[in-house]
Structure 1
C-alpha cells in the first residue's frame, strides 16, 4: 500500500508526471485517477488474501470433532472493514502527497496517522472511564479528544473480534463505519485536489 501510494511523490521528484500533466488532463482527474487505481489495487489484494484466509479456515474445520463456530457473515464484514481502513489510509496518504516535498514524508506521516488512529479510541475510553491513578491534565484530555476527532478512527473498521468469536455486529455500527469511511475519504481527496491544483510543480 505505501509503495503504491508513494508513486505520486516519486513522480514529482523525477518530474515524470509532467509528461501526463502537459496533456489535456486536469490535476483533479490526475489525483482521482491515482486514487481509483490505488483502490483497485487494494481491492484485488484484499480479495486474494481473503480467499486464502477462507481456505485456511475451512481446512482447520475439516476432520475436527468440534469445529469452531464461524460466522461467515461476520467474516465478510471484517474483510470489508479491512478494505475500508486501507482505503481511508490511502486517501490520507494522497492528501499528504499533494503537498509533500519529498517522497519519504507521506510514508512517515501515514505511519503516524495509522498509529494514532489505531489507539485514540482506546486512550479516550480509558480517560473517560476514570481508571487513571493520577489526575490527568485538562490540556492532555483536550489533545486526546482533538486527535480522536481529527485523525481517522481505524478501530471503527476493526471487526476481527466479532468474526473470530461469532459475536453479533449491530447493523447501525456497520453502517456507521461505512458512512464514516466514505466521509473521511471524500474530505481527504477533496483537500488533496485543492492543494494539488494550487501547487507549483518543480
Structure 2
C-alpha cells in the first residue's frame, strides 16, 4: 500500500507540473468570472442560472483535465520509457496501475475542489449584488451535493481512461475510446427510453433491439445519472440513499475496470 501511495503522490506532483493544467485552470476561472457579467440578464432566474453555469464550468474543466492531462500522464511513462525505472523498483504492474489511478483521481479532486471554492466566492458576490429574490430556492447543500456527484463521475471516468491506457500505447486512441464511452454514457439512458417508447408506440420489436435495450445499458456506464445540476438549481436535494447507491455504482464500476486494466497490463509487452 505504501508503494501505491508513493506512486499516487508522484503522479499527482507530475500532473501539477503539467502546463496544460494551468491553462485549463485559467480558462475555468475566466469562465467563472464571466458569470458576474450575467447578473442583469436573467432577472428572477439568476440563481438557477448561476448554479447551472458554475457546475457546468467545473464539469467542463474536469473533462479537459481528464482527457488532455491525465491521458498524457499515462502515455508519457511509456513514450519516455520512464515506466522501466518505476517497474525496476519493487513494485508490481498491478500496483503501478492502481497507483497511477489514485494519482489521477487525486489531481482531479484537488483541482475541481479549488474551482468549487472559487465558484462559492463568485456566488456569494452575486448574491450580495442582487437585491431581489433570485436566490430564494438556492441551497448550499444542494450545490455541493451536485458537485460531489460530479466527483463521483470523474472517479469512474478516470478508471475508464486507465483501462484504455492499458490496452493501447497511443494517447490519441485512448482519448477517442474514452470520449466515445463518455458520450455514450451521457446518452445511454435517453437511447434506452427512446427504443422502449418507439417499440411501444409502433408495436415493433426485434431480438437485436431487445438485446441492445436489455443488456448494453448495463455494459456502458450511465454517466447521465451523475448530472443533477437541474435539481441543484431548483434547490431540490437528492435522497442520501440514492447518493450512497450511486457512490457504490461509481466505485464498483471503477474497481471492475481497474481489475481488468491490471490484468491486461500485467500481460502486456512493453516496447
TM-score, scaled to structure 2: 0.69
**1:54 alignment counterpart:** 120
1:67 pairs with 2:130? no
**2:107 alignment counterpart:** 41
Q: Deviations over 1:162-192 (max 9, x none)?
A: 1101123122221111010010111111111
Of 51-60 and 29-38, deviating more is: 51-60
Report how many aligned residue pairs link the two structures.
Answer: 202
Matches for 1:20-169 after TM superposition, within 5 Å: 20-62=86-128, 63-68=130-135, 69-130=137-198, 135=204, 137-169=206-238
How far has the Cα of 1:17 moved from its partner?
Answer: 0.8
Q: Which has the higher helix share?
A: 2
CA distance in 2, matches of 1:52, 1:147: 39
CA distance in 2, matches of 1:50, 1:145: 37
CA distance in 2, matches of 1:138, 1:58: 54
Residue in structure 1 matching 2:242, options 173, 183, 187: 173
Task: Decide whether the 8 Å contact of 2:195 with 2:209 is kept in 1.
Answer: no
Task: Decide whether the 8 Å contact of 1:70 with 1:165 is kept in 2.
Answer: yes
1:189 pairs with 2:255? no
Of 101-110 and 124-133, deviating more is: 124-133
List alignment gaps of at least 5 residues for structure 2. 1-65
> What RMSD in Å do the two structures reach over aligned CA positions?
1.8
Task: Decide whether the 8 Å contact of 1:6 with 1:107 is kept in 2.
Answer: no
List alignment gaps of at least 5 residues for structure 1. none
Q: Deviations over 1:48-80 (max 9, x none)?
A: 111122222222221422131112111111111
TM-score, scaled to structure 1: 0.91
Of 183-192 and 14-23, deviating more is: 14-23
Of 174-183 and 143-152, deviating more is: 143-152
**1:10 alignment counterpart:** 76
Aligned partner of residue 6 in structure 1, secondary structure: helix
**Would the alpha carbon gap of residues 6 and 137 (structure 1) be closer, same or farther in structure 2, given more than 3 Å must change?**
farther
CA distance in 2, matches of 1:137, 1:55: 54
**Would the alpha carbon gap of residues 16 and 132 (structure 1) be closer, same or farther in structure 2, given more than 3 Å must change?**
farther
